[in-house]
């Protein structure tokens, strides 16, 4: 399992009620089910990933996070997880609002466009950055709304969304990934 998932799993509490939005093949959900909380379910768009979740015995709803979060009541989950998909939504602002409505807390991770490798790539090569974490070319990337950790921090501050973030300058330069706990 990737390191990011261990870091996310550390943030959820024992037996909490959790929704994993864009749960992929269910790897994180499986780990959380077996180690932290059985009360977890996922939403996933890809049909083949949904099948993989069912194979693992996980509760998964095939659906689109941009449309299908509205069916969940306010504060119906202790944690809502969104791992590295925010930047791929057509309307990330709406998705974030929904996450904060249905979850008491939202755990959101984003690939950091402010990482020094990304900055250096653009500065020296003059082409769109392609890194380990951002492997796509400009024409086939699913990422519509790239941002930096600093952008995301600004976004949350302007909207009075509580965010746990220390050493903003350092993280914005040296973290490939930002993982945040957000609260309304």
Q: Which residues bind other proteins (CB under 8 A)?
A: 41, 47, 50-51, 54-57, 59-63, 71-73, 76
DSSP E strand boundaries for the chain:
18-21, 40-44, 59-62, 77-83, 103-111, 162-163, 177-183
Nearest to 23 by CA among 36, 42, 2: 42
Nearer to other proteins, 26 or 111 (CB): 26
Whichever of 55 and 93 has its CB closer to other proteins, that residue is: 55
CB of 50 to other proteins, least distance (A): 6
User: How many CA within 13 A on the CB side of residue 145?
Assistant: 16
Between 50 and 82, name the residue whose CB sits nearer to other proteins.
50
Half-sphere exposure of 103 (CA within 13 A, CB side): 28
Q: CB of residue 159 vs other proteins: minimum separation in angstroms?
A: 26
CB of 13 to other proteins, least distance (A): 18
To other proteins, the closest distance from the beta carbon of 157 in angstroms equals: 32
Looking at beta carbons only, is 63 or 184 nearer to other proteins? 63
Please write down the HEC assignment for all residues of 36-72: CCCCEEEEECCHHHHHHHHHCCCEEEECCHHHHHHHC
The span from the CA of 109 to the CA of 137, in Å, is: 21
- Contact in structure between 178 and 109 (CB atoms under 8 Å): yes
Pick 53 or 134: Cβ nearer other proteins: 53
């Amino acid at each position: 399992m990737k390191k990011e998932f261990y870091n996310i799993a550390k943030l959820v509490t024992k037996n909490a009620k959790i929704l994993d939005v864009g749960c992929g093949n269910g790897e994180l959900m499986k780990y959380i089910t077996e180690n932290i909380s059985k009360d977890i379910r996922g939403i996933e768009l890809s049909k083949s990933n949904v099948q993989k979740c069912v194979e693992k015995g996980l509760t998964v709803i095939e659906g689109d996070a941009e449309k299908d979060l509205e069916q969940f009541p306010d504060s119906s989950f202790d944690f809502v997880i969104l791992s590295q998909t925010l930047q791929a939504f057509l309307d990330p602002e709406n998705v974030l609002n929904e996450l904060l409505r249905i979850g008491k807390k939202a755990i959101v991770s984003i690939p950091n466009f402010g990482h020094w490798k990304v900055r250096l790539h653009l500065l020296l090569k003059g082409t769109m950055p392609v890194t380990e974490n951002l492997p796509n070319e400009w024409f086939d990337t699913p990422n519509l709304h790239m941002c930096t950790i600093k952008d995301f921090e600004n976004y949350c501050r302007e909207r009075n969304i509580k965010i746990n973030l220390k050493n903003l300058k350092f993280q914005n330069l040296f973290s490939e990934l930002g993982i945040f706990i957000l609260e309304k």
